[in-house]
């Protein structure tokens, strides 16, 4: 059976927004006026709210679009008792702190008017303790009609007293996150209707939280069928950190958050700069340092793991709300950020940039990775320029969006590949090492049926880049810590 994925995703560059921390809108509500919120520029805390909202996102759509982003992925926005909103209380209500349902509807109108897509976070494995059906169990105990919606294992249910067993299944034994009983047909139908409700409201897809925790046969196949029945071009992307082949068979998701790409790219470009404390408990192998040949092996495994139509709708990233930010991971090394973003923006699939990374925002692991968006005076100009130029280059060349990816060479710290779409041939070369990198690529001209020799982009302004064609052979000399694009 042929695999079909949304064509718009293949042209997309995503901007990931953690809404409490991105922007405060000038529009306010009597419900939220005068609330005691944390200072915007103070370090983030696990439980504090900064007051960012969807009105603020609407007011910043010009900024987002001007950078070249044409799709937004939001972390959860539904009513919840946490600043990250993974503790869902009501799937049918946008959190009042974010502006409520009205703000989302206005945001969808404004984004779609600009040709931008909006993907929401679907947290369907677990809920918060205040979720109505679970709260009824806390109030009524064994008399609750909703017992079979959750995995209650004994009495009394202890939702808050850490000195007593919780007696119900919580996500990773977290009593604040009771897990649904997905074997209950009513629970399954409820989740499907939530997904359908927001599809009818106009969202363009779902990012699905911890989908590997829901193991009921046929669940994700039914989810896909019901979502796609409303919008065949809806994007379904799963949070799967490691081998995702079982999820990307064409019957479930269109792609996953490509943490395997992130880990390999950070390990190659960052090398020994990667600080263990920022990646040690993250499941994406961002260290130890790897050379170009090892990076090539990892990338080839990724490229051959899935059908090409799936590869083109992977959500590629370097950081997210669940990781430390790249600039902090590599100890502030700006060259690593530029090299990694060059590889991100030239890789098959949809690139995704975590809000603030495009201006050099720093941050360690949660909650530090969820800092407020900084004022312009704190933006890093080199990093901002790098993102703007690379996104523009990606939009300008069809080969970077849907073209073939062909490895040309990998020696020591130099990695070279081509992106090819009909007559549009680009060569991308990265030297992640500390010294001048040299590589001789035999018969490249014949293999590519082209000899690109113009430097379209370089991470550093170097006059010492050497591009020499001798009949069909290409000899490259690339300064240390530099990446280039030839066209």
CATH code at position 313: 3.20.20.80
Do 118 and 203 meet the contact criterion of CB atoms below 8 Å apart?
yes
pLDDT reported for residue 144:
96
CA distances from 204 to 71, 73, 107, 170 (A): 9, 10, 12, 30
**Whether 416 and 392 share a structural domain:** no
Q: Residues in the chain with pLDDT < 70?
A: 1
Indicate if 339 and 439 belong to the same structural domain: no
Final residue of a structural domain among 396, 424, 443: 396
Structural domain for 103, as ranges: 7-125+182-396
**Residue 428 Cα to chain centre, angstroms:** 23
Q: Give every CB contact of residue 291 below 8 A, 6+ residues apart in sequence.
A: 268, 410, 412, 413
In a domain, 167, yes or no: no
Co-location of 81 and 104 in the same domain: yes
- Residue 143 belongs to some domain of the structure: no
Q: Same domain, yes or no, for 281 and 299?
A: yes
62 is catalytic: no
Strand partners, 440: 475
The predicted structure's pLDDT at residue 461: 79
Query: How far is 383 from 357, CA to CA, in rounded Å?
Result: 8
Cα 166 to the chain's mean position, in Å? 33
What 3-state class would DSSP assign to 170? strand
Do both 56 and 86 map to the same domain? yes
482 part of a folded domain = yes
Cα 34–chain centre separation: 33
Are both 473 and 365 inside the same structural domain? no
- Reduced to 3 states (helix: H, G, I; strand: E, B; else coil), residue 351 is strand
57 SS3 class = helix
**Residue 196 appears among annotated catalytic residues:** no
pLDDT one-digit tens code per residue, 273-311: 999 999 988 889 999 999 999 999 999 999 999 999 999
Tokens describing residue 302: 């990724």
Return the pLDDT at 12: 98
Residue 177 in domain? no
User: Structure tokens of 111?
Assistant: 């984004």
Clarify whether residues 413 and 350 are in a common domain: no
Beta strand pairing call for 78-80 and 235-238 = unpaired
Same domain as 264, residue 372? yes
pLDDT of residue 31: 79
Q: What is the predicted pLDDT for the residue at 1?
A: 65
From 396, 428, 456, the end of a domain falls on 396
How many structural domains comprise the chain?
Answer: 2
Alpha-carbon span 278 to 26, nearest angstrom: 35
Active-site annotation holder among 121, 179, 209, 362: 209
Q: Which of 179, 239, 254, 333 is catalytic?
A: 239
The structure tokens listed for 282 are 């993250």
Q: Minimal CA–CA distance to 418: which of 461, 365, 476?
A: 476
Statement: the pTM of the whole predicted model exceeds 0.85: yes
Domain-terminating residue out of 375, 396, 417 = 396
């Amino acid at each position: 059976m042929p695999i079909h994925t949304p064509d718009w995703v293949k042209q997309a560059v995503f901007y990931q927004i953690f809404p409490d921390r991105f922007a405060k809108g000038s529009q306010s509500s009597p419900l939220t006026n005068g609330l005691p919120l944390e200072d915007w520029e103070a370090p983030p805390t696990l439980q504090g709210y900064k007051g960012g909202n969807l009105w603020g996102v609407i007011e910043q759509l010009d900024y987002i679009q001007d950078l070249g982003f044409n799709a937004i992925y939001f972390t959860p926005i539904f009513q919840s008792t946490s600043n990250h909103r993974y503790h869902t209380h009501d799937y049918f209500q946008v959190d009042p702190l974010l502006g409520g349902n009205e703000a989302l509807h206005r945001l969808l109108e404004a984004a779609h008017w600009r040709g931008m897509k909006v993907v929401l976070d679907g947290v369907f494995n677990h809920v918060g303790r205040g979720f109505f059906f679970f709260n009824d169990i806390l109030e009524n105990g064994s008399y609750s009609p909703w017992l079979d919606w959750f995995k209650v294992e004994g009495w009394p249910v202890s939702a808050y007293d850490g000195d007593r067993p919780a007696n119900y299944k919580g996500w990773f034994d977290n009593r604040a996150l009771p897990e649904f009983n997905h074997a209950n047909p009513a629970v399954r139908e409820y989740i499907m209707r939530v997904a359908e409700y927001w599809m009818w409201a106009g969202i363009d897809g779902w990012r699905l939280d911890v989908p590997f925790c829901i193991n009921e046969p046929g669940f994700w196949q039914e989810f896909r069928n019901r979502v796609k029945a409303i919008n065949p071009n809806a994007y379904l992307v799963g949070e799967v950190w490691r081998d995702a082949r079982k999820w990307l068979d064409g019957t479930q998701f269109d792609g996953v958050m490509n943490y395997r790409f992130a880990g390999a790219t950070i390990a190659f470009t960052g090398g020994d700069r990667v600080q263990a404390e920022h990646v040690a408990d993250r499941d994406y192998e961002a260290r130890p340092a790897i050379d170009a040949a090892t990076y090539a092996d990892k990338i080839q495994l990724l490229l051959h793991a899935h059908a090409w139509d799936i590869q083109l709708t992977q959500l590629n990233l370097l950081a997210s709300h669940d990781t430390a930010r790249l600039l902090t991971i590599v100890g502030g090394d700006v060259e690593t950020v530029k090299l990694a973003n060059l590889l991100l923006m030239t890789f098959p699939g949809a690139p995704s940039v975590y809000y603030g990374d495009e201006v050099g925002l720093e941050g360690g692991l949660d909650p530090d990775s969820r800092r407020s968006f900084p004022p312009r005076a704190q933006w890093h100009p080199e990093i901002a320029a790098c993102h703007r130029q690379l996104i523009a280059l990606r939009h300008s060349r069809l080969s970077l969006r849907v073209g073939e990816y062909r490895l040309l060479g990998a020696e020591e710290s130099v990695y070279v590949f081509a992106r090819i779409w009909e007559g549009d041939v680009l060569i991308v070369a990265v030297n992640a090492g500390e010294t001048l990198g040299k590589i001789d690529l035999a018969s490249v001209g014949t293999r590519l049926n082209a000899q690109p020799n113009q430097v379209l982009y370089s991470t550093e302004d170097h006059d010492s880049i050497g591009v020499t064609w001798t009949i069909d052979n290409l000899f490259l000399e690339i300064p240390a810590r530099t990446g280039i694009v030839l066209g």
